Amino acid sequence: MFHPEAGREFETPLRLGVISDTHIYASSRREIPSQVFALFRRAGVNLIAHLGDVNSAWVLEELAEIAPVLAVHGNNDDDELVSTLPASLQFRVGKWEIGAIHGFGGKSARQVVTDRFAGVADLALFGHSHIPFIDRVNDTILFNPGSATDRRWHPHFGIGIITFLDERIDPELIVYGNPAHLDGIEFESLHTQRDREKPR
């Protein structure tokens, strides 16, 4: 079940599924592709972050069947979601500080997330633009998964898988033109990856 006030501190190793801008309204036929849910399960995500413009609260309930969900509201979310979800949030995974924000209200989503979290967080998650994006500013990784359901003018849909180990953050941007393309993506076990990273 989705709990918006879930704990804000988590231990490593951890694998985070990242999704944004699903824009699923009660009256629309749009839905998160089943392949996205299957990929999150194959990846063994321990936590999911939704970065706003959810539009229907039951979307968060569906995601919470896979792993606990942290979420922020976007500029298109209804009054219920705006009152339930924060505009931004910060949480910690091991020694890593993570910030999340939708990204509206400024010159660009990138500028909003940079102003809010660059130099403050190790990883800053944002949405709003529907454009998959990863960069680094002042030792802060900026990460936008794009949209899993509404690519607009961009050629690809997108989601993210981010692995947190004791000494490393491994962000992976997964873009696709057809959800069926996700079926062939496999992931190394989180604990295998952790053990491989340990010094000999």
CATH code of the domain covering residue 24: 3.60.21.10
pTM: 0.94
- 5 in any annotated domain: no
- 35 in any annotated domain: yes
From first to last of the 200 residues of the chain, give the pLDDT tens digit: 455 545 589 999 999 999 999 999 888 889 999 999 999 999 999 999 999 999 999 999 999 999 999 999 999 999 999 999 999 999 999 999 999 999 999 889 999 999 999 999 999 999 999 999 999 998 999 999 999 999 888 899 999 999 999 999 999 999 999 999 999 999 988 877 766 666 65
Q: Token digits for 110?
A: 């990138």
Strand partners, 170: 163
Range of the domain at 179: 12-197
CA gap 172, 163 in Å, rounded: 8
Q: Are 54 and 81 in contact (CB under 8 A)?
A: yes
Q: pLDDT for 111-163, tens place per residue?
A: 999 999 999 999 999 999 999 999 999 899 999 999 999 988 889 999 999 99
- What is the per-residue pLDDT for 3? 54
- 1 in any annotated domain: no
Those residues whose C-beta lies under 8 Å from the C-beta of residue 26, and which sit 6 or more positions away, are 56
- What is the per-residue pLDDT for 27? 81
- The full DSSP string for 22-38 is ----TT------HHHHH
- 6 in any annotated domain: no
- What is the per-residue pLDDT for 1? 45
- 2 in any annotated domain: no
- 7 in any annotated domain: no
- 3 in any annotated domain: no
Q: Token digits for 172?
A: 């992976």
**Cα separation values, 70 from 2, 75, 193, Å:** 8, 17, 24
Q: Are 129 and 105 in contact (CB under 8 A)?
A: no
Q: How many domains does the chain have?
A: 1
- 137 in any annotated domain: yes
Which run of H or of E encompasses 110? helix 109-117
Picking from 187, 195, 197, the residue whose alpha carbon sits closest to that of residue 46 is: 187
- What is the per-residue pLDDT for 110? 95
| Amino acid at the residue 95 | K
Quote the DSSP letter at residue 14. Answer: E
